[in-house]
Structure 1
Amino acid sequence: MLRRNQRFLTQMYVLSDLAVMLGLFLGAYWIKFHSGLLVYYNTVPLKTYLVWSTVYAFAAVLIGFYTSFYTPKRRKKFSHDLLKILQVQTLSLLLLLSLLFIAKEVHISREFLAIFFAFNLVGLALYRYAVKRTLTVLRRSGLNKRYVLILGAGSVGRSFHDQLSLYPDLGYEVYGFLDDFQEHHDADVLRRYAGRPLAPIVGGLDALEQMLADNPTIDEVILALPLEAHSKYGELIQACEKAGVKTLIIPDYFDLLPAKPFFDNFAGMPLINIRDVPLDEMGNRIAKRTFDIAFSLAALIVLSPVMLLIAFGIRLTSPGPVLFRQERVGLNRRTFHMLKFRSMRVSTDADASRTWTVENDPRRTRFGTFLRSTSLDELPQFLNVLRGEMSVVGPRPERPFFVDQFREEIPRYMVKHHIRPGITGWAQTNGLRGDTSIDERIRHDLFYIENWSFFFDIRIIFKTVLKGLIHKNAY
C-alpha cells in the first residue's frame, strides 16, 4: 500500500469544495434577496433554493470526477485548475438548468443562478489558488516534499535530474542515483554534465530493495536506464511494488515522444501512441464540427454588411475579381482552395505561389493594404469552414511549395495536417504571424493539437477578438 493515501486527499478536496460551494450559496442568496442591491419578487422559500444548490454542488463533484478534476495535481500548473473549474461549473450549470426545466421550477430566480455561478467560478479559483500557493511555500521551506530515487546515472537520468531542479515548486528532491556503471559512462555524457551539481550515486541496482527498506522517506523511483538494461526492469519494478513505492519509467527514446504520450491498447497489448490527437475521437470531431458550422453561419450573417462593403471597395479600387483563391494544404495533406478578399493587383506571374508577401509589397492595392493589416481579407474563409475544408480554430494552412520545403527543414512540420486548418490558431494569438519563426509556430500548433478541448477553442477565439485583428506582421 502506498504511503501517500491519495484517496484521503481526494475526499478532503471533495468535502472542501462542497463546503466552499455551500458558503458561496449563502453569499449569493444574501446578495440577491437580502442585500437590497437587487430588486426581487421571491415566491420560493429558502429550502427550495438550498435543495437545488445542493444538487448543483453534488453535480459539480460528480462531473469533477468524470473530468479528472480530482486527480493529483502536484505536477500540474494552476492554469490547468482554472480551465477545469470553468469546465466543471459550466457543465454543472447546464445540467441544473435542464433539471429545473424537467421539474418545471419556473420560479427559481435566474439572476440568483447567475450570481451563484459567478461566485463559484471566482470563489473556487481563489480557494484552489490559495491552497496551491500554501503548498508551494511549504515545499520551498522543505515541507511536503517527495523524495525520488533515480535508477541510472547516464544521459537520461542526468537530464531528468537537471529538469527536476528547474521546478522547485513541485516539491521533489532527488535522494540519489543507483547505477552499475558509476565510473564508466560514455565520455560525452560525463563531459556534458561535468561541473554541474548532481545528487550522489549511492550504490548499484542490486542495492534497490535494501535501499527502499532502509529509507522509508523515498516516495518514488524513476527508471532511467538504457535499452540494454531492459531485462532488469521486471525485477526492479517488483522490488518497488514490494516496498509500496511508486515507479515511473523514462524510456531511453523519450526525446522521440511528445510532451504527453498516450498509452493505447491493440489486440490486448499496450502500445505507446506517439501522437495522441483528441480530435481523433468521434465525439470530439462532431462537437468541433457542429460548433464550426454554427459559428460560421452566425459570423457570415452578422458580418454580411461588412463583407458587402469590402466587395464594393475592391471593385472601386482595383479591376479584377473580388475573391482570391489560393491552393493550400489541409487535413490529411489534401489540397484545397482557400478564399480571401483580393488585396493585390491581378497578376499572371506563375511564381506568385512561391513567394512570401513582404512589408510594403508593391503588388498590394491601397485598399488591400487596409484589408490585410486588419485581417478583414480572411472573412471569406468562413465559407471554407462551411465546406468542411477548414475550421474556425486550427493551424494556419500553407501553400504546397512551402509545405514541401518545410517538411524537410522543420521537424514534425507535417503533424499539423492531422486536423483541419483554421482561420485563427494558438500560434497566431501568440503573435506568430507573417515573418516570424516557423519553428515556434509549429511548436504552438503541436501544443494545440495535443491539448485540444472545446474550451481551448473558445479561449483562442476570445483571445483573437480581445487582442484585436490588427498585427504588425500582417502584411
Structure 2
Amino acid sequence: MIGIDTAAAAESPPALARRRARLRERSPDGSWLDAMLARVNAVAVLLVAVDLVALTVAARTLALSLEWTVVVGAVLVGARASGRLYRRRLWLSWLHDLPRSVSATAIAFGLVTLVILVSGHGDGTGSPAQWAVLLFALVDEPARICVFTFGRWARRRLGRCDRSIVVGAGKVGIDLAGSMLAHPEFGLRPVGFIDPEPVRDPVSLPVDLLEDDLAHAIKRLRVGTVVLAFSHARDSPVVAAAVTAHRHGCTTLVVPRMYELYQDGPDIDRLRSYPLVRLRTAPTSRPSWWIKRGMDVVLASVALVALSPVIALCALAVLLESGRPMFFQQTRVGMDDRTFVLYKLRSVRPGKEDDSQTKWSMEGDARVGPVGRFLRRTSLDELPQLWNIVRGDMSFVGPRPERPGFVRKFSAIHELYWARHRVPTGLTGLAQVHGLRGDTSIADRSRYDNYYIANWSLWLDAKILFLTVGELLRRVRP
C-alpha cells in the first residue's frame, strides 16, 4: 500500500481481520449515548467555561462592579467568539491558536478602553476594567493549555472521536484514513470508504469499502463526519456527497485541489499534513434558522389577517369572471421531498380535465382571463400561501415549490436539482428576484437555489425580500 501514515500497515493479516471484525461489530450497534457524545463539541464547551472562570477570577480580584463585569465579559466573549476561538476543531494546539487568542484579547482591551472614554469613567489609563482584561489573559491562557491537553487525551484514551466516512478510496483518501487511525487525537475514527471506482481495496487498514450509498451508510453507521477526498471515478460523487452529508447533519471536510499549496485560514482545519476545508453546517441546523421560522410564523399570521380583505376581493373577482372554485389547491414537493397541498387564488379558467399537475404554465395561455393575468402580474394569486407558511409547509424565502411530476423530470435532467429540497420551499426566492419566473431556465433556477442554500443567512433573506418588493412595484407600474 502506498504512503499510508499509520502503524496499522505493519499488522499481520490475522490481526487486521480481527480489527475489521471488531469495527463491524461496533459500527451498527453502539449506544445512542456514544453517538451523541461524539457529536458534542466538548472542547468548545470547556473553552467557554474556562473563559468564564478566568473572567470571574479577574473581576473578583480587582473588585469590579457588576456593571463593569458584565461589560468586560460581553466584550471579551464577543471578541473571542468573533475570532472563532470556540470553533469545533481537529487540531488541538494551544500554540497554533495563541495568535488568534492574543488578537481577540487585544481587540477586547481596545473596546473596553473605548467604553471607558465614551462613558467618562476615566482617562483610559490604569482603569480596573482594563487591568481585568490583562488579568483575564494571564489566568485564561494556562487554562486553555489544560483544555487542549485534556481534549487530546480524551480522544486517544477514551475514544471520544467522531465516526467518519471517507469519500474517495484513492491514495489521498487511504492516507487520511490511516492518519485518523494512527492519530486519534485529531478526533476522527474512520468506519468506511465510499468510492464507485477505488484504486485498490485498502487491505492494510481495518476500514472496509462500503457497498451501500452514502445516505444509508451515514444512518447505519451513525456517522458524524464525512471527509471528501479524491476519486478516480469519471462521475465524481464529491458534490452530491457534500449535499447528502449536509442533509443528514454531518460535519463536512473537503480536501482541496492543490492542497500542498493551501495556507491555514479561518475555514481550514488540519489532519496532520493535510489541509481540510470545513464546510458550513446545513442552514436548518443553525440557531438562526429558528429565528427565521419564528419570524415566518409571526409575519405570515399578521399579513394573513391584514390582507384578508384583499384576498376576499380577489376571490370575488375570480368568482365573477369564471365562477367556482375561487381557490386552487395543488400538490407540491417541499423539504426532504415531502409533499404538501399548496393554496393559490385560481387564475386559470377551469377546463374539462385537470391537467395542472402535468402541464407547464406558459405565457399567453388562452385560459387565463383579465382577472387571472392581473393576479399573476401582481402575484396576488400567491397570497393564500401565507397559510402554507403558518402551517410550516413553506417559508417566506426559499426555492419555489414544484409539482411531483416535474421534480422527477427535472431531477433526471438537471444536475443537483434534487439538492434544492434540503430547505423549506419559499413564497419568493433568489432565482425569482433574478428574473427566473414562469417559462425560464430550470438549470439557472437550480444553480441560484443551491447558491442560496450554501450562502443562507438572515441578511440574505432580508435582501431577497427587499428585491421582491422592488420587482413587484416595477411589474404593477403602468
Task: Indicate the TM-score class for this superposition, using the shorter chain for normalisation.
Answer: 0.3 to 0.5
